Amino acid sequence: MKVKLGQLVAAAGSPQEPGALQELMEVKGFCVRLAYQLARLAKKVNDELPVFITAKDGLVTKHGTIHKVLDAEGQPTENDEQNPSIRPGEKNWPAFEKDFNTLMAEDVDLDIEPVILPPDAEGVTAGTLLALDGLITVRGEDAPKSGPTGIVE
């Protein structure tokens, strides 16, 4: 399955803000088979993140600057940044933003099929489904429902 890198990053989230895939993984009551498929999908998504982080850090190095940290009186402190960073409004921001958007639009082949959720899955929000569009699909209402073992009844 091909998806955009930006969708994978949004699905995975960050340590500060879990993504939609993490939210879905925390839903209780999925059959063992479905839980396993979600775990496999999460692994595939998370395996792509180090490559993204390296590329993003390269863009920050290319476009960013090392900022001085000033105290309340505007004097430099010993806490200056050691690595470059970039902030909205800086002169290199538009070039960074263009390169970053190009990166996020890259196609990634996950070599996995979308996970199919039953239409009666409880605890799954519409926002989660929208964020995971293409990674997750919901089986049609007219399809047979799966039982607690994941076997179609």
**pLDDT one digit per residue (tens) for the chain, 153 residues:** 889 999 999 898 877 888 888 888 888 888 899 989 999 999 999 999 999 999 999 999 999 987 777 777 777 676 655 678 898 999 999 999 999 999 999 999 988 899 998 888 888 888 888 889 889 988 875 444 544 444 444
* pLDDT confidence of residue 149: 42
* pLDDT confidence of residue 131: 87
* pLDDT confidence of residue 150: 47
Residue type, 113: E
Q: Are 117 and 124 within 8 A, CB to CB?
A: yes
How would you class 45 by CB atoms within 10 Å of its CB: exposed for 0-12, middle for 13-18, buried for 19 or more? buried
Instruction: Give the span between the Cα atoms of 89 and 67, in whole angstroms.
Output: 14
Give this prediction's pTM.
0.72
- Give the distance from CA 95 to its chain's centroid: 23
Q: Are 41 and 112 within 8 A, CB to CB?
A: yes
* pLDDT confidence of residue 80: 58
Total residue count of the chain as it appears in this document: 153
Q: Where are the domains positioned within the chain?
A: 2-109+122-138
* pLDDT confidence of residue 104: 95
* pLDDT confidence of residue 94: 96
Instruction: Give the span between the Cα atoms of 93 and 122, in whole angstroms.
Output: 43
